[in-house]
Structure 1
């Protein structure tokens, strides 16, 4: 419907902590990067790498588990996956709770 929700609790509702960063970022767009029920590995990697660079997510690799990242970087994943989706209406429930001051500024930059 063109709507996206970034919930207050990123750990309980916004992320799949046991999945890699790249997969978390791509969850809402797998339909777009797939053809005939097959995920394009090239598109999957490219989309994840683009989001990691654009959002300045500090991760050793797109294959690192989301649970291994800081709270601020986890929050960037939650926001980034919906930005990649292309929603027209975003609902952010306390998007900067539990993140450091520098990351708060980066998150607010994403909203402008």
Structure 2
């Protein structure tokens, strides 16, 4: 998907008005998340997720390469990984492919 000239301007205007705090909030919360996780699971044993789960990975994701999810089966009982030929922003780069995977998976599981 190509980004039109107006899209970067839209985001630049929004960030100029409101700052970049929202997008950075996830990163700021990492230490707190680790603290809470260690309090809830002091022995480090995290219960396995027992509901079906879907992960849509991106072949060209330089931030979270699909190989980084290889150990998820130790945490998720029923995990299905699907792959799209996109970068990090899968749903923006291939909305049709993302929706197709989601709808097909949801139809089978719910």
Fold shared, TM-score > 0.5 on shorter chain: no
State the structure with bigger RCO (CA 8 A, min sep 6), 1 or 2.
1
TM-score by length of 2: 0.25
> TM-score normalised to the size of structure 1?
0.25
Larger radius of gyration: 2
